[in-house]
Amino acid sequence: MTIRMRVPVRPSVEDITEYKPGKSVKGAIKLSSNENPLGASPEVVRAIVGRLEAGDLKLSVYPWERNEESLREEIARYAGVDVNRIVIGAGIDGVLDTLVKIFIGNGDEAEALIPVPTFSLYESLVKIAGGTPRYIPRDRDNNFGIPAAALISACNDKTRMIFLSSPNNPTGNCMAEGDVRAIAESVPTAMVAIDEAYVEFADKSLVNLVNEYDNVLVLRTFSKAFGLAGLRVGYAVIPEWLASIYNKVALPFTVNNVALTAALTALSDKEHLRRSIELVQVGRAYLEQNLQGLFTVYLSEANFVLVDVSPRTAREVFDALLKKGITVRDCSSFRGAGDSFIRISVGTQEQNEKVVAALKSL
């Protein structure tokens, strides 16, 4: 006998849309996923290959607790916080997956608050967990800032997570510290999750707020400034009370042996980090200056710029650039972004010049 039918899946899973990563096309210049144009530090590559060959780094054994601890200690030093507040995972995505499982799924109205447009994984994770997000539109006329008062009044005592990305993807703007304080103080029964994936490219961090507020946490990653997106390492700085709960819920061994070695080595190569940040800051200013006049460009503190290409559509410009061998991000898939925004990752100077020339010739 054979069986040909679907087993019913949870309704919340039917409703989600699959995460669409930035497009990769063989041979094209990829400015669609906010990766590091310098790649990983050469020290990282040497450490992985050398230790694998020497047999100190083994693929056949589970990650050793002491190596995880060393990475947490170095992250704590880098972030300037106590090591007991650091948890690590498979990218910010992996850390968020655990956090959402801890807080979401009670089925209450406004259980999660998401200012949009923003990184789409927040919405997917909340829905997968069985939660219903409430969306707050960012203020387009104010560089996509979050209207803090509107956000606070959209919360209730059942709200458990508020997702603030700073700098935000795809808009590039940072949260004002006063607004984050007001939100954390007004909604003490919700975790305020500040996603600082791009913080190295910005001129400020909100990480110290975790020391003051038991309902604030900060997420960071090795995928952007450290150039390790392919290895999947991220971390969060969380309040101490949450650490033991996090460790119960997280899957064991989510950061693999190679990734642990890579992240530790990346933290020690300060020069590669400095060069990566400088390249982005110079390239971002170049893109902003050269595209402003042609289109509306939003001021960014991240490694990308958001461009409003109206009266053209994002799709048209995306296709035209693709024909010229460049991929950017068509932002129409971001909830609340409309259909005229593209996001361009900062590349090498040569890549930046190519994308500017291509846009000028449209």
DSSP β-bridge partners for residue 136: 115
CA distance 89 to 31: 26
Q: Which of 98, 118, 67 is CA-nearest to residue 257?
A: 67
Token readout for 343 is 């996001």
Q: Is 36 in the site for ligand PLP (CB under 6 A)?
A: no
Residue number with the smallest Cβ distance to ligand PLP: 91
Closest approach, Cβ 175 to ligand PLP, in A, equals 12
CA distance 15 to 30: 30
Closest approach, Cβ 226 to ligand PLP, in A, equals 10
Residue placing its CB nearer to ligand PLP in the complex, 111 or 195: 195
Tell me the window of 23-31, 85-93, 123-131, 344-352 that interacts with ligand PLP (CB under 6 A). 85-93
Could you say which residues in the range 195-234 bind ligand PLP, by CB under 6 A?
A: 195, 197, 221, 223, 229, 234
Q: Is 173 in the site for ligand PLP (CB under 6 A)?
A: no
Residue placing its CB nearer to ligand PLP in the complex, 186 or 256: 256
CA distance 35 to 169: 13
Closest approach, Cβ 56 to ligand PLP, in A, equals 26
Contact characters 103-132, ligand PLP, x per CB under 6 A: ----------------x-------------
Kindly tell me which residue out of 29, 30, 34, 86 binds ligand PLP, with binding defined by CB under 6 A. Answer: 34
Closest approach, Cβ 303 to ligand PLP, in A, equals 10
CA distance 119 to 302: 13
Q: How far is CA 106 from the centre of its chain?
A: 25
Q: Is 305 in the site for ligand PLP (CB under 6 A)?
A: no
Sign of the torsion angle spanned by Cα atoms 219, 222, 223, 227:
positive
Closest approach, Cβ 30 to ligand PLP, in A, equals 13
| Count of residues interacting with ligand PLP (CB under 6 A) | 13
Closest approach, Cβ 173 to ligand PLP, in A, equals 12
Closest approach, Cβ 165 to ligand PLP, in A, equals 4
Q: Is 263 in the site for ligand PLP (CB under 6 A)?
A: no
Token readout for 43 is 């020290």
Token readout for 360 is 């000028």
DSSP string, 99-126: HHHHH--S--TTSEEEEES--THHHHHH
Using left for φ > 0, alpha for ψ between -120 and 50, and beta otherwise, residue 68 falls in: alpha
CA distance 188 to 214: 8
Closest approach, Cβ 146 to ligand PLP, in A, equals 14
38 phi/psi in degrees, rounded to 5: -85, -10
CA distance 326 to 22: 12
Which residues sit at the interface with ligand PLP, rule CB under 6 A? Answer: 34, 91-93, 119, 165, 169, 195, 197, 221, 223, 229, 234
